[in-house]
Chain A
Amino acid sequence: MSQAVSDQGVPMTGAAHRANRAKRVNQRARSLKRAKRIALHVLLVFGTLVSVFPFYWTAVMATNTTEDMYRNPPALVPGPHLVRNVQRVFDNVDFMGSLLNTIIVACATTFLVLLIDSLAAFTFAKYEFPGNRMLFRFLLLTLMLPAQLSLIPRFVLMVELGWAGSLSSLIFPGVANAFGIFLLRQYIQNSVPDDLLQAARLDGCGFLRQYWHVALPAIRPGLAFLGIYTFITAWNDYAWPLVALVDPEKVTLQVALARLNTAHHTDYSMVMAGTLLAVLPLVVVFVLFARQFIRDVMKGALRG
C-alpha cells in the first residue's frame, strides 16, 4: 500500500491530501494558539491571586480570634467572629469619625489639585513665557524633596497659622505637589493640538476660555486619572497626619489604624478587622470606577 491513506483509511486523491494536510496544520496552529492563550490566562490568574490574596487573608484573620491565628496550622477560612472584632474596633477608636475626616480631606485635596494643576499644566504646555522652562525644571526638582524633610518645620508653620490639628493642615500641603502638573502637562502636549487652540484664539477665545472650553474637555481622562490618584494618595497618607493631627479625638483612618496597631497590638484579630474596614471603602470605590479609569488612562495618558 503505497497510496496515501486518509484518517478513515480511504484512499485519497492528491488534491484532497493537500487540503487535509493544510487543515491539520491549521488545527495544530489553532490548538497551539489555544494552549498559548490558556497559558497566558493561567499566568494572569496567578498574578490576580497574588494581587488579591492579602485581602482574603486579612478577611480570614479579621473573622477569627487571635488564638485561631496562633494555632498550628492557623485558621485558613473565614470564621464567625467578624462582628465581635468589628465591635471592638468601634469600642477602641472613633472609626466613623475618622472615616468622615478622611473623606473630607481626600475630596477637598482632589478638587483643589485638579483645579490648580490643570491650570498650571495648561499654561506650561501651551505657552512660552519668560521663565517657563526654569520654573518647570524647578517643579521637577521639588518632586525630589523628601517629604519628611519638612515635617517639623511644616508643623511649626501650622502652629503659627493656628491650623495644627485641623483638617486644613492636611489639605493644603497635599495640594502643593508637582506631580499633577508634571502629568497633565505631558497629557496636554499630547492631546490638545495647537491648531485647535489657534482656531479658538481666532474665534476670540481668551486664555481662560481656551483652558476651560478646549483644554479641559480634551484632557478629561487625564484629570480622572490624576483625580483618583490624588484621592488615593490623600486617603492613604500616614506620616504627616500622624504628626499634624494633634487632637487625638480628630484623626484620619490611617492614623486610627496605626493607633489600633500599636495601642492594642495583642488583639490581632481586632487589628485585622480594623485593617479590613480601613481598606474596604477605597477598594470598593476604586473597583466601581476602575474600569473606566483605567480605560481612560489607556486612551492617552503618558503617551511619552
Chain B
Amino acid sequence: MVATRAGTGHPRTRKRALKKRTLKKALRAYWRQYLAISPFYVLFAVFMLGPVLFSLFLAFHKWDGLGPMEFVGLQNFRFMVKDSLFWQSLTNTFAIWFLSTIPMLLLALVLAAMLNSSVRFGGFYRVAYFIPNVTSIVAIAIFFGSVFANQVGLVNVVLQWLHVGTVGWLTDSFAIKLVISALITWQWTGYNAIIYLAGMQAISSELYEAARIDGAGPVKCFLKITLPLLRPVILFTVIMSAIGGMQTFTEPQVLFGTVDATNPDTGGPGHAGLTTVLYLYREAFNFNQLGYGAAIAWALFLVILLFTVINWRLIAGSGRRDR
C-alpha cells in the first residue's frame, strides 16, 4: 500500500504538465485508460454506489419494504443515540474484533516465521493452514455451534472428563464472544500466515546473513529485520481484518439462529453475540425497520472509516519514517 513505484518510468513525468490541461483534453488523451477502468466503476455505480446512496435516503425514512415511505427526518438517528442495544452491539463488535484479531495476527506471524525457516513439508503445511479459509462460514458456524453446545458439545464433554468443570459457551456473555472469536481466528490465521510468509520471503536473505555475521540471533533478526520490513504487509492485514471484523455477521447469525419467531437473531443470551451488522439485519429484516437499519449501516460505516484511519496512522505512520 505504501510501496513506492519501481523505477522512475516515463508515464509519471507527464504529471505536472497534465495538471494544466482541461478535463476535455485529458479525456481525449487518456480515453483508453478511462475506458479500461470504467467497467468496474460502472458496475460499482449500479450495484454498490446506487444502493448505498439509496440507503442514505432510506436512513431518513420509515419504511417496511412494501408500503409507502414516510419521511421522518433525524428520528432514526435520534432513536439510535438512545438505543442501548445499538451501543451494546458496537461494544460487542469491537470486543469480538479485538479477541480475534490479536491472537490471529500473532499466531499468523509465528506460523509464518516457522514456515519461513525452510522447513520440510512446507508446501503441505501451507495448504493445511489455508484450508480453514476455504470453508464456508455457514458450515463452520454450524460446526462450532455443535462442538461448543453446553450439555452435549465436544468441548464440554472433554472438560468434564478432565474434571475441570464445564463452561456455558453459548450462554455466558464473555464465552459467547470467545467462541465467535475462536471461529474467526480459526478461519483466518492460516490466510494471514500465508500473506506474512509471502512478505518474509520477499526480504533479501543477504540482510539476514549480514545480521548473523554481526552476531544477531534469530529472535533479534526477527525483531530488527523481519518485523520492520513486514510493516506494510502487517498494515494490510490489520486494515483488512478491521474492515472484515467490523462487519461480522454470519457467525453469530448462524450460531444463534433461533427458531423463535417473536425474538429472532438475538445474537445469543443477553445479546452477547449481537454484532452491529446482525443488529442491523434484525431491525431491517425481522422487524421491518428498513429505515432504521439503513441508519445503523451508515453509523457503522463512519465507525469503520474512523477505525481504519486510526489503524493506518498507528502502523503506517511509524513505517514511513523507516523508509
Report A-B touching, CB under 8 Å: yes
User: What is A's interface to B at a CB cutoff of 8 Å?
Assistant: 37, 40-41, 43-44, 47-48, 50-52, 54-55, 57-58, 61, 69-70, 72-74, 116-117, 119-120, 122-124, 126-131, 135, 141-154, 156-157, 172-173, 175-176, 178, 181, 186, 189-190, 193-195, 197-198, 206-208, 211, 232, 235-236, 238-239, 243, 253-254, 257-258, 261-262, 265, 268, 271-272, 275, 278-279, 282-283, 286-287, 290-291, 294-295, 297-298, 300-304
A246 to B: closest C-beta gap in Å: 13
Contact B198 A301 (CB under 8 A): yes
Please give 12 more A-B residue pairs, beta carbons under 8 A apart, in addition to A47-B111, A47-B128: A50-B186, A57-B143, A128-B18, A146-B246, A146-B301, A147-B247, A194-B9, A207-B36, A236-B136, A261-B142, A275-B142, A303-B198
Closest residue of chain B to A129 (Cβ to Cβ) is B30
Contact B305 A144 (CB under 8 A): yes
User: What is B's interface to A at a CB cutoff of 8 Å?
Assistant: 1-3, 5-12, 14-15, 18-19, 21, 23, 26, 29-30, 32-34, 36-37, 39-41, 43-44, 46-52, 54-55, 58, 65, 111, 114-115, 117, 119-121, 123, 125-140, 142-143, 146-147, 152, 154, 157, 161, 186, 190, 194-195, 197-199, 201-202, 229-233, 236, 243, 246-247, 249-250, 254, 257, 259, 277, 280-281, 284-285, 290, 293-294, 297-298, 300-301, 304-305, 308
**A286-B114 CB under 8 A given contacts A126-B11, A304-B202:** no
A252 to B: closest C-beta gap in Å: 10
Contact B9 A48 (CB under 8 A): no
| B7 touches which of A195, A278, A282, A287 (Cβ 8 Å) | A195
Closest residue of chain B to A124 (Cβ to Cβ) is B37
Please name 30 pairs of A and B residues whose Cβ atoms are closer than 8 Å in the assembled complex, sorted by A: A51-B131, A52-B128, A54-B135, A74-B154, A126-B11, A128-B14, A129-B30, A144-B304, A146-B246, A146-B300, A152-B58, A152-B65, A153-B51, A173-B48, A175-B40, A175-B43, A176-B48, A181-B40, A186-B3, A254-B138, A275-B139, A286-B130, A286-B131, A287-B131, A291-B126, A291-B127, A297-B198, A300-B202, A303-B202, A304-B236
| A151 touches which of B15, B233, B284 (Cβ 8 Å) | B284
